[in-house]
């Protein structure tokens, strides 16, 4: 499906990415991330995930391939090269072109209904499809299956395309992340779920119990199908950060049979951002904790403010990385976390829109960096969720320079 011209374009780009991945710089970054994730002392780590802004940084108009499949590969390679050449960050370029096996999931038997916004990226409203406790019977346990033949064909295609210059690797499930409340509120509705905490608590507990059991079943199916894959590498973890570590896999590891105890996992419940720590613990965290317990290292949180919930977060088995969102207080979090956890600070993406105030950004970063240094925190600074940079991609470059300067001046 990829023609001769597209093949040449992709192969040239793949050569560049492979060359970057094999540099001493990348080798050192992998060591730095392992040191960081293993809670050893050292400098803060800096990461950029432009996400929504990629459409302005690297629009489709720069792509030279024609077919949908070729353009997707081309974009992935070009974005990797662009980030390396422009962002002075600790983003790591993988030495492999990773592919996931063709895995099928029958789902929960329900499909959420929403009211779309008139804005392209506007918020949408919920239309509940679960209204009574009896409706919870509609939730099915997903059935997992794998198409080995399709996986083999796809692997052969990529190997033929770039495998001789950029190693291709087929993997199973290497990203484990639990989003029970996010899934359920799409069926029940966010307002309705909040009201259930007071009016129908038994219903909400039953729903979470059903969701927990379904996720336990999915993990067991991954194990039975031998689909789990190690993730102590560049695998994206939690809501930011890599998974490099010298502590995994376990000493008795069998490469032919990966287990949860050889892996990282994570969970989040952004929908519970405004409920009390007690309600958060009762209605969602207790279920998430049991799901995360079998895994060797865990992360928690995303965009929700966990400042006042850290005491319950610390009770998560094997907790290592904690998300400190733009709405959290990084100073308080640093004081409570010390050097016992990774303080995964998500800086405010809105600083890239409107007036780009370098002085304000520097002071903003300095405050959290100093607090982290004084409390011995294992700090990572992550700029993500940037839905737009208002067509000023150079602001990412400028932000990185500011962050590097402030870290150099305030981290001993």
Query: Which pLDDT band holds residue 185 (cuts at 50, 70, 90)?
Result: very high
Q: What is the largest CA-CA distance in the chain?
A: 63
Q: What percent of the chain has pLDDT over 70?
A: 100
Q: Is the dihedral of CA 70, 76, 78, 79 positive or negative?
A: positive
Tokens 């002075």 appear where?
Answer: 88
Categorize the per-residue pLDDT at 284 as very low, low, confident or very high, splitting at 50, 70 and 90: very high
pLDDT of residue 120: 79
Distance CA 270, CA 181 (A): 8
Query: If you average pLDDT over every residue of the chain, what do you get?
Result: 97
Sorted by where each starts, the structural domains of the chain and their CATH numbers stand as 4-410 (3.20.20.210)
Beta strand spans in 134-251 (E): 144-146, 168-171, 177-178
Residue (of 116, 113, 104, 92) closest to 36 by Cα position: 92
> Structure tokens of 145?
């299956």
Give the residue-averaged pLDDT of 248-273.
97
Q: Is the pLDDT of residue 76 over 90?
A: yes
Say yes or no to pLDDT of 380 above 90. Answer: yes
One-character DSSP codes across 133-161: GGGGGGPPPP-EEE-HHHHHHHHHHHIII
Pairing of strands 97-100, 45-48: unpaired
Return all residues near 253 (Cβ < 8 A) that are at least 6 apart.
262
pLDDT for the residue numbered 126: 82
Task: Quote the pTM value.
Answer: 0.95
Residue 45: how many other CB atoms lie within 10 Å? 24
Q: Looking at residue 125, what is its pLDDT?
A: 84
Q: Which two tokens stand for residue 143?
A: 């059935």
* Residue 196 contacts residue 181 (beta carbons within 8 Å): no
146: left (phi over 0), alpha (psi -120 to 50) or beta: beta
Q: Are strands 45-48 and 378-383 parallel, antiparallel or unpaired?
A: parallel
Q: In this predicted model, what pLDDT tens digit does every residue of 85-138 receive, in sequence order?
A: 999 999 999 999 999 999 999 999 999 888 888 887 788 888 899 999 999 999
Backbone angles phi, psi at 128, to 5 degrees: -55, 135
The position carrying tokens 């608590």 is 201
């Amino acid at each position: 499906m990829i023609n001769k011209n597209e093949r040449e374009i992709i192969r040239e780009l793949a050569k560049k990415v492979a060359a970057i991945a094999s540099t001493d710089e990348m080798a050192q970054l992998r060591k730095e991330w392992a040191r960081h994730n293993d809670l050893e002392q050292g400098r803060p780590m800096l990461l950029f995930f432009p996400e929504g802004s990629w459409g302005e940084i690297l629009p489709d108009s720069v792509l030279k391939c024609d077919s949908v499949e070729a353009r997707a590969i081309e974009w992935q390679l070009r974005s990797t090269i662009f980030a390396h050449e422009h962002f002075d960050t600790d983003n790591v370029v993988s030495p492999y072109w990773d592919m996931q096996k063709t895995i099928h999931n029958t789902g929960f038997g329900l499909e959420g209904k929403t009211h779309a916004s008139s804005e392209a990226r506007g918020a949408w409203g919920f239309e509940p499809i679960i209204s009574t406790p009896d409706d919870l019977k509609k939730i099915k346990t997903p059935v997992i299956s794998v198409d080995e033949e399709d996986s083999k064909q796809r692997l052969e295609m990529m190997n033929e395309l770039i495998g001789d210059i950029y190693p291709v690797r087929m993997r199973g499930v290497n990203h484990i992340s639990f989003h029970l409340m996010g899934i359920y509120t799409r069926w029940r509705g966010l307002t309705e779920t909040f009201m259930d905490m007071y009016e129908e608590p038994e219903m909400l507990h039953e729903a979470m119990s059903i969701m927990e059991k379904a996720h336990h079943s999915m993990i067991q199916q991954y194990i039975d199908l031998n689909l789990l894959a190690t993730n102590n590498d560049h695998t994206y973890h939690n809501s930011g950060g890599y998974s490099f570590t010298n502590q995994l896999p376990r000493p008795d590891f069998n490469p032919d049979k990966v287990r949860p105890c050889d892996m990282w996992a994570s969970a989040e419940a952004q929908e519970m951002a405004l409920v009390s720590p007690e309600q958060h613990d009762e209605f969602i965290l207790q279920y998430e904790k049991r799901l995360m317990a079998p895994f060797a290292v865990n992360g928690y949180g995303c965009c929700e403010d966990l400042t006042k919930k850290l005491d319950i977060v610390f009770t998560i088995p094997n907790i290592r990385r904690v998300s400190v969102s733009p709405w959290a207080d990084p100073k308080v979090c640093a004081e409570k976390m010390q050097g016992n956890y990774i303080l995964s600070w998500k800086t405010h993406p809105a600083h890239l829109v409107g007036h780009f105030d370098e002085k304000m950004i520097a002071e903003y970063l300095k405050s959290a960096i100093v607090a982290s240094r004084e409390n011995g925190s294992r700090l990572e600074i992550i700029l993500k969720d940037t839905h737009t940079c208002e067509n000023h991609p150079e602001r990412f470059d400028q932000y990185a320079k500011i962050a590097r300067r402030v870290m150099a001046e305030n981290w001993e």
